[in-house]
Amino acid sequence: MKTRIVSSLLTVGLMPVAIGAQQPALTPQDSAFHALNRLAYGPRPGDVPRVAAGGVLRWIDRQLSPDGINDERLSQQERQFAILAYDRGDLAAMYTEVQRERRERKLAAAADTMADRSEANPIAQRGRRLAGEFADLAVVRAALSERQLYEVMVDFWTNHFNVYLAKGADRFLTPDYIEHTIRPRAMGKFEDLLIATAKSPAMLFYLDNWQSVAPGASPPFPLSARRGQGVRPTPKGINENYARELLELHTVGVDGGYTQQDVIDVARIFTGWSIERPQEGGDFEFHDWAHDRGEKQVLGVRFDGGHDMDEGIRLLKLLASHPATMRHLSRQLCERFVNDDPPDGCVDDAVAAWKRSSGDIREVLRAIFHGPDFWAAENVRAKVKTPLEFVVSAARAVAAEPDTSPRLAQVVARLGEPLFLHVAPDGYPERETAWVNSGALLDRMNAAVALAAGKLQGVTVALDSIVSAGDVDQMIGVVNERILGGTMSENTKQVLRRELAGISDPVQARALAVGLAIGGPEFQRQ
Partner 1 sequence: MTISRRVFVKSGGLALFSFGLDPLFLARAAFAVRPSARPPDRRILVCLFQRGAVDGLNMIVPHGDPIYYQERPRIAVPEQDVLDLDGYFGLHPRLAALKPLWDAKTLAAIHAIGSPDATRSHFDAQDYMESGTPGVKATPDGWLNRYCQHDREHQDTPFRAVAFGPQLPRILAGTAPSLAIDDLRAFGMRAPRPAARDRLTRAFEELYAGSATGLLSTSSREAFEAVQMLKRLDPGQYRPANGADYPRGRLGKALLEIAQLIKADVGLQVAFADVTGWDTHVNQGATEGQLAGRLGELGQALAAFTRDLGEWMRDVVVLTMSEFGRTVRENGSSGTDHGHATAMLVLGGPVNGGRVLGKWPGLNPAQRFEGRDVAVTTDFRDLFAELLARHLGARDLSAVFPGFSPDPARFPGALSA
Q: Are 311 and 401 in contact (CB under 8 A)?
A: no
Q: Which of 228, 260, 302, 504 binds partner 1 (CB under 8 A)?
A: 228
In contact, 333 and 365? CB cutoff 8 Å? yes
- Smallest gap from Cβ 241 to partner 1, in A, equals 6
Residue 229 makes contact with partner 1 by CB under 8 A: yes
Whichever of 367 and 518 has its CB closer to partner 1, that residue is 518
Residue with Cβ nearer partner 1 (355 or 525): 525
Residue 232 in the binding site for partner 1 (CB under 8 A): yes
| Nearer of residues 183 and 414 to partner 1, judged by Cβ | 414
DSSP letter (8 states) at residue 290: G
Give, in degrees to the nearest 5, the angle at Cα 151 between 145 and 156: 165
Cα–Cα dist 391/397, whole Å: 10
Scanning 55-63, 125-133, 194-202, 427-435 for contacts with partner 1 by CB under 8 A, the matching segment is 427-435
What is the pattern of x (binds partner 1, CB under 8 A) and - over residues 42-81? ----------------------------------------
Site track for partner 1 across 478-517, x = CB under 8 A: -----------x-xx-xx---x----------------x-
Rg (CA), the chain: 25
Verify binding: residue 166, partner 1, rule CB under 8 A: yes
At 347, is the secondary structure helix, strand, or coil? helix
Nearer to partner 1, 70 or 224 (CB): 224
Binding mask 358-377 for partner 1 (x = CB under 8 A): --------------------
State the number of binding residues for partner 1 (CB under 8 A).
63
Q: What is the DSSP letter of 207?
A: T
Which residues, 432 to 451, sit near partner 1 by CB under 8 A?
432-434, 436-442, 445-446, 449-450
**Phi, psi (degrees; rounded to nearest 5) at 280:** -105, 10
**Residue of the chain from 62, 180, 183, 414 that contacts partner 1 (CB under 8 A):** 414
CA distance linking residue 210 with residue 28, whole number of Å: 52
CB contact at 8 A, 361 and 289 = no
Query: At closest approach, how far in Å is the CB of 494 from partner 1?
Result: 8
Q: Furthest-apart CA pair in the chain: how many Å?
A: 80
Residue from the set 5, 7, 100, 116 that interacts with partner 1 by CB under 8 A: 116
| Min dist. Cβ of residue 5 to partner 1 (A) | 31
Distances in Å between the alpha carbon of 501 and those of 98, 476, 495, 512? 55, 12, 10, 11
Q: How many Å separate Cα 490 from the centre of its chain?
A: 35
Which string of x and - marks every residue 237-276 that binds partner 1 (by CB under 8 A)? ----x--xx--xx----x----------------------
What lies within 8 Å, CB to CB, of 56 at 6+ separation is: 10, 13, 17, 28, 31, 32, 35
The reply to whether 519 sits near partner 1 by the rule CB under 8 A is: yes
Note whether 175 and 264 are within 8 A (CB).
no
What pairs with residue 273 in β-bridges?
Answer: 286
Q: Figure out which of the listed residues 101, 146, 285, 522 binds partner 1, where binding follows CB under 8 A.
A: 522
Q: Which stretch binds partner 1 (CB under 8 A): 164-172, 309-317, 363-371, 459-467?
A: 164-172
Residue partners of 500: CB distance under 8 A and separation at least 6: 472, 475, 476, 509, 512, 513
Compute CA 435 distance to the chain's CA centroid, rounded to the nearest angstrom. Answer: 15
Residues at the site binding partner 1, with contacts judged by CB under 8 A: 103, 106-107, 109, 111-116, 164, 166-168, 207, 227-230, 232, 241, 244-245, 248-249, 254, 384, 413-414, 416, 418, 423-426, 429, 432-434, 436-442, 445-446, 449-450, 489, 491-492, 494-495, 499, 516, 519-522, 524-525
